[in-house]
Amino acid sequence: DGGITQSPKYLFRKEGQNVTLSCEQNLNHDAMYWYRQDPGQGLRLIYYSQIVNDFQKGDIAEGYSVSREKKESFPLTVTSAQKNPTAFYLCASTPPGSDTGELFFGEGSRLTVL
Amino acid sequence: GQNIDQPTEMTATEGAIVQINCTYQTSGFNGLFWYQQHAGEAPTFLSYNVLDGLEEKGRFSSFLSRSKGYSYLLLKELQMKDSASYLCAVLDSNYQLIWGAGTKLIIKP
């Protein structure tokens, strides 16, 4: 079945460590996104990519980095520069030529910094 | 600034009807989305409104008034599985999605 796969589902990290969250999709979607979700707040856009080898900063890109070497893959690295990284991270994609821009989400990765 | 307002939490009874409101102030408007999110899971798409009026889809309906900056999601014949958070999001003039904080809906037997 087609979909978006995020891994790991749960991740614990010590302060000062970088961690990479995986996002893979087999939907043949061009555009991919990373969001952060915190309790009591709306989803906030970290980075997005409309095409391979190109990506743009979202509203809260500081302390994060991404790559888009393949259409199917859009990994997110949470660096030690991110001051408050504990959150639920969601990867999403949209199909090409979508009239509505409907997002398809992965299951999410919950990162906890100890 | 851009803003989306939704109630934080609502409670309703199984079998009843509930209306979740969303008001928005954004720079431009290119559509409004409703997503459902069960605890610890990914949001799933419910509806998209770009023109004024009511869109019905089974037990769920979504209404939009662009002049009032207002939308609501109407859930009929509530079931226990409808307990979830409901997220309102607006596509602004730059085609960026602005998200509300979500409304947690609790269904009681």
Mean pLDDT of B47-58: 95
Q: Is it true that the peptide bond before A8 is cis, omega within 30 degrees of 0? A: yes
Q: Say how far apart CA A105 and CA A93 lie, in whole Å.
A: 7
Q: How confident is the model at residue A32 (pLDDT cuts 50, 70, 90)?
A: very high
What is the longest distance spanned by two Cα atoms in chain A? 43
- The closest of B20, B17, B26 to B6, measured between CA atoms, is B20
pLDDT of A99 reads 65
Q: How confident is the model at residue A16 (pLDDT cuts 50, 70, 90)?
A: confident
Contacts of B41 in chain A (CB under 8 A): 107-108
3-state helix vs strand vs coil in chain B, percent to 5 = 5, 55, 40
pLDDT digits (tens, 9 = 90+) for B85-104: 999 999 999 888 999 999 99
Q: How confident is the model at residue B1 (pLDDT cuts 50, 70, 90)?
A: confident
Arithmetic mean of pLDDT over chain B = 95
DSSP string, A76-88: EEE-TT-S---EE
Please tell me which residue of chain A has the smallest CA distance to B101: A42
pLDDT of A97 reads 75
Q: Say whether pLDDT at A1 is over 70.
A: no
Q: A42 and B42 in contact by Cβ < 8 A? A: no
Number of other CB atoms surrounding residue B83 within 10 Å: 17
**Chosen from B37, B47, B57, B103 to mutate, greatest number of chain A CBs within 10 A:** B37
pLDDT of B86 reads 98
- The closest of B74, B87, B71, B98 to B39, measured between CA atoms, is B87
Q: B45 and A40 in contact by Cβ < 8 A? A: no
Q: A100 and B31 in contact by Cβ < 8 A? A: yes
DSSP state of A71: T
Please give the structure tokens belonging to residue B59. 């037990």
Please give the structure tokens belonging to residue B98. 């602005």
Mean pLDDT of A72-87: 94
